[in-house]
Structure 1
Amino acid sequence: MRKNYYQKIAVLGVVLLTLLAFKKYSATKEDKFPEITFVTENSSSKMLSAFNPNDLDENQWQKLGFSEKQTKTILKYKEIVGGNFTSKSQFKKCFAVSAEKYSELEPFLLLPENSSEFTANYHSQNFKKQSLIINGRFNPDHFTKKDWQAMGFSEKQSEAILKYRDYLGGSFVSKEKFRECFIISDENYQKLEPYIILPAKTPANLKSFATQSKSPIKLTAFDPNELDKKGWENLGFSEKQANVIVNYRDRNLKGSFKTLDDLKNCFVISQEKFESLKPFIRLDPLTAAKNSEQKKAEIKQEKTDFTKTELNSITFKQLLEFGLDEKSAGSMIGFRKKLGGFMTKEQILETYNIDKELVQKLLNIAPLDNSKVERYTLVDAPEEWLKNHPYFKYSADKILYYRISYPDDKKIWKLLKTKPEYEARMRLYLK
């Protein structure tokens, strides 16, 4: 019995010691509640996939975590750099994209590192390499715009190649020079090189070689007042030069070259070219007089009364007649078409690339009738119209979303929360 008694005492002692030790440990160490991290919808841990920033609209930028203001800044910056981001380094310079945000997006950007790597071998829409169609050996000096397009280049790329050829004097001269064309990537050059009919190296005297490389032109007697654009091209001038000569004759000289000096003074006709043509020039006074009278009659017939010419129906030709250059006239007509018509004269002055001083003179005398311009409510405006109209396209997705639940213009305006100046412009085209 005494033995059992001591065993029980020993067990009790061990239990007491254990309790005392645990109490002491608890007093010296605080229990910390585990930290909880809430994952928000805008967390940067969201799954990203490869994308071309040139493809994204306002809504898609916001889904990447950018605010509405940042999104508009990015889209505006894209317009400033030419309508497309050409490299990662260029995209990085946009001040709406922080260094941290760029680091997050950079691995997924379908853009080259530097703009110098951006060539015709990448489509602006999906950035995939082009496949060229080469039917056999060819001389790039003889290729037209359609020929380059048939090979696989886009319309703009084809125009750029031809401009580069014109810059060289009308001939690529050598494979070496052809390779320097920024539109032609190294990869595409390697594909084209075996088929190109040009010398491998550029001759020392590039200018004379370019002249010799062109097909010899057989000259015969001609009257410069009887030649159209094609006729001047047949004399060795480029399409652009031929346009300049004809416009110079018809506009500046009122329809005819009257003396050799008139022809000599045309800036696209070099002294060397003029001397080569001079022995074959035959100026007929009767033809010159006839053309001049014809031109005067045309000008008199085309004279427009701009006080009665309505600004929403004025034509490109009439704008040129008023004195605008082709760039200004084209911009004004193009902006009017996008808007569906001008609602106020002030809108016309917002047009890019116009001679504002000259346009203001036109606005002072010409009337504006906006009665035929299409107007809608936010609820019934066609989706295509909203997405294409310059004033609505950046808010189009929101309008389409809100009007599903709230078919009321006042409610939609409250939800849009647009800036007052933007809302004022939009309301011009609403009922």
Structure 2
Amino acid sequence: MTSRPLLIANATLVDPVAGSEARGSLLIKDGLIADLGPNLNTAPDGAETLDARGKVLAPGLVDARAFLGEPGSEHRESIASGSQAAAAGGVTTVVCTPETNPAIDDPAIVDYLIRRARDTAVVNVHTAAAITKGLRGEEMTEIGLLKQAGAVCFTDGAKTISNARVFLRALTYARDYGALIVHHTEDPNLAGNGVMNSGEYASRLGLGGRPIEAETIVLERDARLVRMTGSRYHAAIITNRDSLEIARRAKDQGLPFSCGTSINHLSFNETDIGDYRTYFKLAPPLRSEEERLALAEALADGLIDIVVSDHNPQDVEQKRQPFAEAGDGALGIETMLSAGLRLVHAGHLGLPKLFRAMSTRPAELLGLPGGRLEKGQPADLVLFDPDEPWVLDKKTLRSKSKNTPFDEARLQGRVFRTFVAGKTVYEYA
């Protein structure tokens, strides 16, 4: 059965492609955007009408990097719980990383996850597949078969492929299949046992540091291998000005090179670790405030292509440990939009550019529908008030885990309704 058409009237429509914000209405029919614009004032016969009362209506977020637990780590997160958290945050499409048990390195596992998502998720869930078997960085997976099974990109998650010959071979095969390689750029030997950004602050805390060079050395190598192969390449999370310069040079050379950063790296810096707060222990680590501001500037001018949640739930036992021994990672998917709006309120960029990085551009890179306010596009939408203040209580999060760095943070911007294929999957009570 098809649902009744829905007219969302009196909304502020944000179009990331046109770079515009304008008052208007949008009509949803059969799961698609049927019409939109300032002159769309009357609902067709039999349609429902929702008065947005000036709230912002934009394409739903496309999160290209999130850990959803299945298979093997359902105690940390599941596709069902992760998709509920995504919907509450205005995220309508999620790409899960392959760091599961077993790793997503076989077409049968990809097929299982697609069916599992179809049965349990309330948002669109796609899967990334591993570049190397078991994420060990030694032997390539069957990229062609995995892509045919439905994998939308290839990554070893938070593990770096140190062997340049293996990575070159992966880029070459990916090029032949038109596949996107997504790489975590941090030399594990140079990072060593470091647990936070190298520098004065790490020394004052008595913690081992992970230098910026661990990131830039791998990124520079990767850029040169991309130049050799012409393969599509995406640096998963870059965190500093030197990496931004490498990315700029690669793009200026016309290479098929893109890069992203995480919402947590745009929101926090190393001093937020404070008195050894393990929710701020991330991989790659939080950098200085100067580096954070450089990331915000690069996002505004389009050098950084996308923003990801890097959603990485950890159970209590992993985070309730001394800082050096605690697990890396933090939640991000449910707070992704509200945190991004901090950049808007601070004047770093406007709403259309934020949504281009969080919705339109990731959809383009991954070859997925959505990310646009256009006729015929899927009605994957978020309706939110960018100005409404609220305080986050981690107990209310939909994620199974609660390791959020935003606990008790004052946020501005609340999601009121999320639509997937025109169906309401989240509504703020």
TM-score range, shorter chain: under 0.3
TM-score when normalising by structure 1: 0.20
- Higher RCO (CA 8 Å, separation ≥ 6 residues): 2
TM-score when normalising by structure 2: 0.20
Greater share of strand:
2
Larger Rg: 1
Greater share of helix:
1
